[in-house]
Amino acid sequence: MNEAPATLHTGRHFLQIPGPTNVPDRVLRAIDMPTIDHRGPEFARLGLAVIDGCKRVFQTAQPVVIYPSSGTGAWEAAILNTLSPGDRVLMAETGHFATLWRKMAEKLKLGVEFQPGDWRHGADPATIGARLADDRGHAIKAVMVVHNETSTGVTSRIPEIRRAIDQANHPALFLVDTISSLGSIDYRHDEWGVDVTVAGSQKGLMLPPGLGFNAVSDKALAASRANASPRSYWDWQEIIAANRTGYWPYTPATNLLYGLREALAMLEEEGLANVFARHDRHAAATRAAVRAWGMDILCADPREYSSALTAVMMPQGYDADHYRGVVLDRFDMSLGTGLAKLKGTVFRIGHLGHFNDLTLMGTLAGVEMGFDAAGVPYTPGGVIAAMNSLTGRAENL
Ligand SMILES: *Cc1c(COP(=O)(O)O)cnc(C)c1O
């Protein structure tokens, strides 16, 4: 083998994609335990603890179903339990993930109305409300929205969409994907009147990939009971029944549940309000850096800036993936790629999960040094602008 050795990296890899995110040592150690009998008494204590803790993070008193699955599995579970082939649903084109959820809905034979979007804005409450007001026969069975569109760094205004549904006096179920927002951006399943909240383990929850979640309202549960279309593995009823005593109808992902118990404890020790404020602060500092570099943020509406990630538009004529490759090679940092139609023109900085001021500063220093290394034109000073934003010095300058 005469191949040149791969660049030798020391220290920690910076995994600054918007999921999977960096897993805290505490969580890794919690997972590193013998697998126990999932029918035994010790397991029931674990099962009850994680279900209870999840309710606090989803901000719900209603059932939270945990699947051994990726987020995509939890998407499918939300659809299969509440909807049947032929049902009409209203979705909004916020970006790549909304488009993927739409494709799944179509494969499952739903009739999807996809409100077009420019991938720089969230789902529009007014457009959704107007369409529902028009639907006097209540043909639309569900409104399905991605809360934090991970491909664009745009966060849709869920409470406003709820109000639009209510103002139209429409009975449609409200299904929301929080896969990249839960545990990072304020989200309230009960208060915001969401019927199914879909989540995953590997983003704000700081776990490895492998758990999917559905928080389920009474209305969604009733819809699932009335829904005759076939499903088995994903069916809520049996799981919720077994969960009452802390068990699952099949073998759960025991070791990931150990990790979940620890991650929930970390979120609660910090306090959810503080977790959200921390993400807001890091996102604001990131935007200060991007502006100082003379670059544009993909999200076009300041009300919809994501606190979990920032998508940065590359200067014209420079390839984002080439730049990302240089950053990975030189600094051992992974930045998020531009997905689908954003390929090459956008890169994404993940600032969610297990993260602090210095992780942010290290990340932004890697981004800024990467511009030089890759020959990308920029105005120096983004790192200092972010530092001033974090220290509060920006306001006094
Ligand atoms: C990551 C993500 C998904 C897909 O989740 P997987 O775990 O990869 O199946 C869906 N929606 C959003 C908003 C995401 O961020």
Q: Which domain holds residue 358?
A: 14-21+271-396
Q: Which of 206, 240, 268 is where one domain is finished?
A: 268
- Indicate if 248 and 302 belong to the same structural domain: no
Would you write out the chain's pLDDT as a tens digit for each of its 397 residues? 556 556 689 999 999 999 999 999 999 999 999 999 999 999 999 999 999 999 999 999 999 999 999 999 999 999 999 999 999 999 999 999 999 999 999 999 999 999 999 999 999 999 999 999 999 999 999 999 999 999 999 999 999 999 999 999 999 999 999 999 999 999 999 999 999 999 999 999 999 999 999 999 999 999 999 999 999 999 999 999 999 999 999 999 999 999 999 999 999 999 999 999 999 999 999 999 999 999 999 999 999 999 999 999 999 999 999 999 999 999 999 999 999 999 999 999 999 999 999 999 999 999 999 999 999 999 999 999 999 999 998 776 6
Which numbered atom of ligand 1 lies nearest the CA of 148? Answer: 13
For residue 5, tell me if it sits in a domain: no
- Indicate if 162 and 242 belong to the same structural domain: yes
Tell me how far the alpha carbon of residue 19 lies from the centroid of ligand 1, in angstroms. Answer: 8
For residue 158, tell me if it sits in a domain: yes
- Indicate if 232 and 317 belong to the same structural domain: no
For residue 1, tell me if it sits in a domain: no
For residue 173, tell me if it sits in a domain: yes
For residue 381, tell me if it sits in a domain: yes
Q: Please, which residues have CB within 8 angstroms of residue 201's CB and are 6 or more apart in sequence?
A: 207, 208, 209, 210, 211, 212, 213, 256, 260
Tokens 């977790």 -> residue:
275
The conformation of residue 22, written as its DSSP 8-state character, comes to P
Our answer on whether the CB atom of 104 is closer than 6 Å to any ligand 1 atom is no
- Indicate if 291 and 191 belong to the same structural domain: no
Q: Please, which residues have CB within 8 angstroms of residue 66's CB and are 6 or more apart in sequence?
A: 50, 51, 54, 211, 212, 213, 252, 257, 260
- Indicate if 279 and 343 belong to the same structural domain: yes
State residue 4's pLDDT score: 58
Which numbered atom of ligand 1 lies nearest the CA of 151? Answer: 15
* Dihedral over alpha carbons 99, 60, 49, 237 (to 10 degrees): -70
Q: The dihedral of CA 181, 187, 192, 196: what is its sign? A: positive
State residue 387's pLDDT score: 98
Our answer on whether the CB atom of 150 is closer than 6 Å to any ligand 1 atom is yes
State residue 396's pLDDT score: 64
For residue 172, tell me if it sits in a domain: yes
Which numbered atom of ligand 1 lies nearest the CA of 212? Answer: 7
Number of domains in the chain: 2
Our answer on whether the CB atom of 153 is closer than 6 Å to any ligand 1 atom is no
pLDDT in tens, 129-187: 999 999 999 999 999 999 999 999 999 999 999 999 999 999 999 999 999 999 999 99
pTM of full prediction above 0.75: yes
State residue 395's pLDDT score: 72
- Indicate if 348 and 240 belong to the same structural domain: no
- Indicate if 252 and 301 belong to the same structural domain: no
- Indicate if 264 and 284 belong to the same structural domain: no
- Indicate if 192 and 115 belong to the same structural domain: yes
For residue 6, tell me if it sits in a domain: no
Q: Which of 268, 293, 314 is where one domain is finished?
A: 268
State residue 397's pLDDT score: 60
Separation of alpha carbons 325 and 346, rounded Å: 13
For residue 182, tell me if it sits in a domain: yes
- Indicate if 249 and 294 belong to the same structural domain: no
Which numbered atom of ligand 1 lies nearest the CA of 209? Answer: 7
State the CB neighbour count (10 A cutoff) for residue 350. 28
Looking at residue 297, its amino acid is: I
Our answer on whether the CB atom of 72 is closer than 6 Å to any ligand 1 atom is yes
Going by their DSSP bridges, the two strands 111-115 and 88-92 should be labelled as parallel
- Indicate if 46 and 67 belong to the same structural domain: yes
- Indicate if 286 and 264 belong to the same structural domain: no
Our answer on whether the CB atom of 177 is closer than 6 Å to any ligand 1 atom is yes
Q: Which of 238, 268, 298 is where one domain is finished?
A: 268
Give the CATH number, domain containing residue 103. Answer: 3.40.640.10
Give the CATH number, domain containing residue 390. Answer: 3.90.1150.10
Our answer on whether the CB atom of 70 is closer than 6 Å to any ligand 1 atom is yes
